[in-house]
A = this chain, B = another copy of it.
Amino acid sequence: MDAVDRQILTLLVQDGRRTYDDIATRVALSPPSVRRRVDRLQADGALHGFTAILDHAALGWTTEALVELFFAPGTLLEEVAATLRDYPEVVEAWSVTGEADAIARVRTRSNADLERLIRALQEDGSVLRTRSQVILSALVTRPASA
């Protein structure tokens, strides 16, 4: 993992479909060499893969919120994780320090759907209580850095 690897990752974060030719020119290596480094970074776990960046709002998912979750005593993390994975609206979720036990990042097609989702989560068992923060606007959205 040297400076060139980091440069390659930065270029691929900027544009995941950049050609090996293009990258090779920018980092002063040959295309096969770049390819071998990308494969190695992926094998080593530094690079997980490539994806498309969608505009969820443009696709109709206009409501986004961070929902703090408070568990019933004795609730297992894997139990809640499994429950959360049942809801496609849950985009990300983490266990956290602080008052809440976990936070779910959710995306719905409307505020009404968000309300239904929160109700469903509360009635699903392990989640005793929730506290939501609806996202009003994005202040910073930054491509990941290497």
Contacts and interface: CB of A to CB of B under 8 A. Distances in A.
Interface string A92-119: 1111111010111000000000000000
Interface size class of A (residues with CB under 8 A): 35 or more
Interface in A36-84: 44-56, 58-59, 64, 66, 77, 80-81, 84
Given A98-B133, A103-B66, A53 B48 contact: yes
A138 B52 contact: no
Nearest to A104: B140
Contact of A96 (B49, B54, B133, B142): B133
A50 B51 contact: yes
A58 B5 CA distance: 13
A9 B52 contact: yes
A1 B96 CA distance: 38
5 interchain residue pairs of minimum CB distance: A16-B50, A12-B52, A93-B140, A81-B139, A96-B133
